[in-house]
Structure 1
Amino acid sequence: MKNAPLKLPEVRWVEPGRLTSGLDRHQRMDLSTHTRVNPPLPEPGREDLLALAEAVVLSGRGGAGFPFARKARAALATADRTGTAPVVVVNGTEGEPASAKDKMLLARVPHLVLDGACLAAAAFNAEEIVIAVAAGSPGEISVPAALAEREFPCPARTVSVPERFVSGESGALIRGINGLPVVPAPLKARAADGGSGGVRRRPTLLCNTETWAQLAVAARLGADAYAAVGTADEPGTALLTVNRPGADPLVVEVPTGTQLGPVLEACGLQPGTGVLVGGYHGAWLHPSVAFDAPLSRAGLAALGGTLGAGAIVALPDDTCPLGETARVATWLATESAGQCGPCKRGLPEAAEALATLAAGAAEPSALEGARRALGAAQAGGACSHPDGTARFLLTALDVFSEDVDAHLSGPGCGRPVRGVLPLPHAEGARLTVDWSRCTGHGLCAVLAPDLMRLGPHGYPTSRTIPVAPWQEHDACRAVNQCPALAIRLHRRG
């Protein structure tokens, strides 16, 4: 591992770290270093481990915040009823571009994550441990090396899935582990129930990387010591990814309930024009409330926000907020699976409206149409992607309301779009329209209705249209059958 080309995220602390203990002295902790830094791992039984998780109020750290003990009990109830051993899954895919905490854990302290998975596998008599990582991520190198260093209570393996935003959705990930396309299942099925929702139809306990690491920390400390920091309702610490313009993100460990302002200051940042908390399924906070916002799920919920996966972006004053939001809206629309109405129509329409608004060419009616589309997208999709995207965009329109007015009433705010909100470097596929050739036949809108929208005179409303993977077939039809040869498809890369 000494010569492995790992990119190791930098770590900081507001108070002495737990999950990050030892990283002030070691870049990456192999098994021997891990055992020197951490005390021996206990071996609690089934009920003891469940009681510990309940006592420390351990919840999922991937975004949804579902209680670990409740999820585990559901999987165990299925296992007991069917006589089938459960499968333990570590979700380390982290398709959120603004988040690096799981990459940090898998790259720098992989054995802490594996400790948590092994605790559950041993206590629950699991059939297998599966660690899912994103293709090309540090975990693809670090985790197999860690697996080779230690013994496990059951077979353990690594699975790589495409690095896409929807790959981390639980149903999509389980489909990927089962060898199916990595997209959310058309019909929702609980992993804990096994069947079509589980790994090889077994009851499945799937948790985020940080969740498993937190379980290992709690087992070593015990419930009382674990709850010595944090809030009464959400004891312990949390990992945050603080994004910085023009620099790599920082992973910061803080006690839950810590105010956001001191965390930003410790990273050399100010709230700017607004702060995004929770990543691209999170919510924007106005600068007037951001500084004192408590970094806990309950504290942020009271402000209309969400902790989500803990990704934070403070938007500086020298970039256009609407332009930044529009970039991400377009990306989120193309990252969907395209399996339900909100993703096929609602998100692309909203992204197009945001792009038009950022360009200073939108009418108030178009903005209201985008709001309606996003409102309809909430709670109407096959997964949480439309809901999270709607929250991200609707809170942006509220927090940046002055900029919205400036873009509606004139040429805009006058600031460039600096690309502060992080996105993958690879450019997505897109259609472009050659206006010198287009004669307004309108056939493209018939062949690719989810892509091409026509204005009142029969011409496409946009010159550049992003294309999601599920839209490429229709995009090719529109290109090949355009009578004027006015459309071009530019592939990803």
Structure 2
Amino acid sequence: MSTALELPQVRRLGPALLTAGLDRRHRLDLAAHTDVHGSLPHLDRDGLLAVADRIELRGRGGAGFPFARKARATLATADRTGAPPVVVVNGAEGEPPSAKDRMLLSRAPHLVIDGARLAAAALGAEELVIGVAAGGPGEVSIPAALAERTDLPCPARTVCVPERFVSGESGALIRGINGRPVLPPTVKARAADGGNGGVRRRPTLLANAETWAQLAVAARIGPDAYASVGVHEPGTVLLTVNRAGADQLVVEAPSGTRLGTVLEACGVAPGVGVLVGGYHGAWLDPREALEAPLSNAGLAAVGGTLGAGAIAVLPAEVCAVGEIARIAAWLAAESAGQCGPCKRGLPAAADALAALAAAGGGSAALDALETARHAVTTSQGGGACSHPDGTARFVLSALDVFAEDIGLHTAGAGCGRPVRGVLPLPRRNEATLEVDWSRCAGHGLCAVLAPDLIRLGPHGYPVSTTMPVAAWQEHGARRAVNQCPALALRIRRRG
């Protein structure tokens, strides 16, 4: 199991609640877990809700929704319909800059299971389902941990879903558990209401891995002891600090700790911009970021979001526009491709940012900047899931924070700095559609067959020689390759 469990280092600032014991053991099996954390109390439904209310428990997967409100809605549906609920752990973390949930699932799996077990027993659940990314460490660790448990109040199973950004969206995970394509539903439905939004149409209580672990800690030590740690909001937060040229660090810190304190402890300089909340988060000016308290309210006050707890910085020696364009292209390719913003808006923004990064000033650069801003702005609020909104937050905040760098690209020959890929992306087999200019005759058929992928310039030729192909674009790409009269297209895969 050791190879599958190679994960970032873990550090703590202040008391170790979620990371207790991990300084001495790589992974806590059931015996070690019980030795470190002690026995788990029993909570009825009122006790469960009281703990969640008193510690102000919010989801730690990105949206920050109050846990107790979700639980009450699930109970209300179960009481009204007589259908026993299902409890779901969302461990399908698809954020490249976030490793905290993968760390918990692999190194402290029983803490996550404990939180879900408390809810399953209190709600009278008929099943407990843990969703993990296929090929990730949770695929090995969670089944091994479940096999050690004899105290679960209902059947439990692990479901593996593709390791994609949208797989971690709650509706996509529930669809995957139900045996359907792991994509966000086109019609929004609350999991707590059951029906089309729930597992097997049952009322469903879903929370991410860290949320369940926080609940287990609070139930063990009591709400008062839990709330004695943290400022502004009770307890601790799990953070993933991304370091350019070095491995990620997972850090547990009291809620409200200054962001600057965390960066300093990890040996990270704030650079020219600090990203908080991951790739659906927001960029902050370093001067504001260093003083920002790491809590939902503290980050919101400066225009940020805690999100999935991912932190990254952009060093001064790289091209900010090029680095942002690189992530925007990946986010566009990771979409489900089911609605207008994902099919049109996000790819248009990514293309415009790439053009801006390569521009040598003048009207072309200004047009690219305006196109990027317009594309993400008009994508907000119109998607079937939160992916367009999160991507827009990432891009628009970058355009504000890196205005000086953008000015160099619009006013002259660019910033002259390289794109080094300092922001993490997964190592996967990536497909690109490539144009052989020695063959291309400008027929334009490719743009008809793959309009979401290929755009033509004023003279009828594709505007780019290399285009990343998203999963939902592969059918169109293959059609374009097979039917190109000049045989000028090919799909290349890079591992």
Residue 430 of structure 2: SS of its match in structure 1?
coil
- Are the counterparts in 1 of residues 90 and 206 from structure 2 also a CA contact under 8 Å? yes
Confirm or deny that 1:450 pairs with 2:452: yes
Q: Shift of the alpha carbon at 1:9? A: 2.4
Q: Spell out, residue by residue over 1:2-41, the C-alpha distance to the aligned partner (whole angstroms, 9 max, x if none).
A: x564213211011121000111111111010111111221
Q: Spell out, residue by residue over 1:213-251, the C-alpha distance to the aligned partner (whole angstroms, 9 max, x if none).
A: 00001101211111112234x211100000112222000
Equivalent residue for 1:404, pick from 400, 403, 406 = 406
Residue 49 of structure 1: SS of its match in structure 2?
helix
Residue 204 of structure 1 aligns with an amino acid whose one-letter code is: T
Q: Spell out, residue by residue over 1:28-87, the C-alpha distance to the aligned partner (whole angstroms, 9 max, x if none).
A: 110101111112211011011101101110000000000000001111111111111100
Residue 265 of structure 1: SS of its match in structure 2?
helix
Q: Shift of the alpha carbon at 1:359? A: 1.4
Q: Shift of the alpha carbon at 1:193? A: 0.7
- Are the counterparts in 1 of residues 4 and 136 from structure 2 also a CA contact under 8 Å? no
Q: Shift of the alpha carbon at 1:259? A: 0.6
Residues in 1 aligned to 2:72 and 2:253: alpha-carbon distance in whole angstroms: 29
CA-based RMSD:
1.2
Q: Shift of the alpha carbon at 1:286? A: 0.9
Residues in 1 aligned to 2:231 and 2:90: alpha-carbon distance in whole angstroms: 26
- Are the counterparts in 2 of residues 300 and 306 from structure 1 also a CA contact under 8 Å? yes
Confirm or deny that 1:28 pairs with 2:27: yes
Residue 429 of structure 1: SS of its match in structure 2?
strand
Q: Name the structure 1 match of 2:159.
A: 159
Residue 429 of structure 1 aligns with an amino acid whose one-letter code is: A
Q: Superposed, which structure 2 residues align to 1:289-438 within 5 Å?
A: 289-360=288-359, 362-438=364-440
Q: Name the structure 1 match of 2:209.
A: 209
Residues in 2 aligned to 1:182 and 1:479: alpha-carbon distance in whole angstroms: 27
Q: Shift of the alpha carbon at 1:492? A: 5.7
Q: Shift of the alpha carbon at 1:410? A: 2.4
Q: Name the structure 2 match of 1:465.
A: 467
Change (3 A) 1:5 1:468: closer
Aligned residue pairs: how many? 491
Residues in 2 aligned to 1:439 and 1:409: alpha-carbon distance in whole angstroms: 34
Q: Shift of the alpha carbon at 1:293? A: 1.2
Residue 148 of structure 2: SS of its match in structure 1?
coil
- Are the counterparts in 1 of residues 172 and 184 from structure 2 also a CA contact under 8 Å? yes
Residues in 2 aligned to 1:231 and 1:201: alpha-carbon distance in whole angstroms: 40
Residue 175 of structure 2 aligns with an amino acid whose one-letter code is: R
- Are the counterparts in 2 of residues 96 and 280 from structure 1 also a CA contact under 8 Å? yes
With 310-319 and 155-164 compared, the bigger mean Cα shift is at: 310-319
Residue 421 of structure 1 aligns with an amino acid whose one-letter code is: L
Residues in 2 aligned to 1:358 and 1:439: alpha-carbon distance in whole angstroms: 28
Q: Name the structure 2 match of 1:277.
A: 276
Residue 158 of structure 1: SS of its match in structure 2?
strand
Q: Shift of the alpha carbon at 1:262? A: 1.0
Residues in 2 aligned to 1:356 and 1:203: alpha-carbon distance in whole angstroms: 47
Which runs of no fewer than 5 residues in structure 1 stay unpaired?
A: none
Residues in 1 aligned to 2:71 and 2:493: alpha-carbon distance in whole angstroms: 43
Q: Shift of the alpha carbon at 1:177? A: 0.5
Residue 395 of structure 2 aligns with an amino acid whose one-letter code is: L
Q: Name the structure 2 match of 1:72.
A: 71
Which runs of no fewer than 5 residues in structure 2 stay unpaired?
A: none
Residues in 2 aligned to 1:153 and 1:272: alpha-carbon distance in whole angstroms: 50
Q: Name the structure 2 match of 1:225.
A: 225
With 477-486 and 12-21 compared, the bigger mean Cα shift is at: 477-486
- Are the counterparts in 2 of residues 19 and 214 from structure 1 also a CA contact under 8 Å? yes
Q: Spell out, residue by residue over 1:169-198, the C-alpha distance to the aligned partner (whole angstroms, 9 max, x if none).
A: 001000000111000011111111111111
Q: Spell out, residue by residue over 1:302-322, the C-alpha distance to the aligned partner (whole angstroms, 9 max, x if none).
A: 111111000000111221111
Residues in 2 aligned to 1:76 and 1:492: alpha-carbon distance in whole angstroms: 48
Residue 491 of structure 1: SS of its match in structure 2?
strand
Q: Shift of the alpha carbon at 1:427? A: 4.1
TM-score (normalizing by structure 2):
0.97
- Are the counterparts in 2 of residues 167 and 183 from structure 1 also a CA contact under 8 Å? yes
Q: Shift of the alpha carbon at 1:360? A: 2.2
- Are the counterparts in 2 of residues 99 and 241 from structure 1 also a CA contact under 8 Å? yes
Q: Percent identity?
A: 73
- Are the counterparts in 1 of residues 365 and 409 from structure 2 also a CA contact under 8 Å? no
Residue 333 of structure 1: SS of its match in structure 2?
helix
Residues in 2 aligned to 1:483 and 1:435: alpha-carbon distance in whole angstroms: 14
Q: Shift of the alpha carbon at 1:491? A: 3.5
Residue 52 of structure 1: SS of its match in structure 2?
helix
Residue 467 of structure 2: SS of its match in structure 1?
strand
Residues in 1 aligned to 2:139 and 2:429: alpha-carbon distance in whole angstroms: 23
Confirm or deny that 1:144 pairs with 2:143: yes
Residue 33 of structure 1 aligns with an amino acid whose one-letter code is: A
Question: 4+ runs of 1 displaced by more than 4 Å?
Answer: none
Q: Name the structure 1 match of 2:46.
A: 47
Q: Name the structure 2 match of 1:135.
A: 134
